[in-house]
Amino acid sequence: MVAPRCTACLDDERCWVCLGVGLIDSRDGIPAPCHRCYASGACSGCQTITIDDVGQSPVLNPFRRWRRGTRASA
């Protein structure tokens, strides 16, 4: 069995806090941007979050594609 490379997202490449949605529920019921991925939905442990991705939640932008193969070099 091969161990996953990213222990945060288990190679899913999606943020483990907001589950790749980019938004988290707040106590008042209004969705707030995720503090871990800056609302990009990408895993901050194995991917580089670019300025273009900040605040562009995949939920709010249904035509956005996931970036495959753009892992940050360790």
Structural domain contains residue 33: yes
Tens of pLDDT, residue by residue over 15-58, are 999 998 888 988 888 888 898 998 888 998 888 888 877 877 77
Structural domain contains residue 73: no
For residue 64, pLDDT beyond 70: no
Residues facing residue 31 across a β-bridge: 25
Q: In angstroms, rounded to a whole number, what is the distance separating the alpha carbons of residues 16 and 10?
A: 9
Number of domains in the chain: 1
* pLDDT attached to residue 72: 47
| Residues whose CB is less than 8 angstroms from the CB of residue 13 and which lie 6 or more positions away in sequence, other chains included | 6, 42, 43, 46, 47, 66, 67, 68
For residue 67, pLDDT beyond 60: no
List the domain range (segments joined by +) for residue 9.
1-61
Structural domain contains residue 69: no
Is this prediction's pTM over 0.85?
no
Structural domain contains residue 71: no
Q: In angstroms, rounded to a whole number, what is the distance separating the alpha carbons of residues 69 and 54?
A: 19
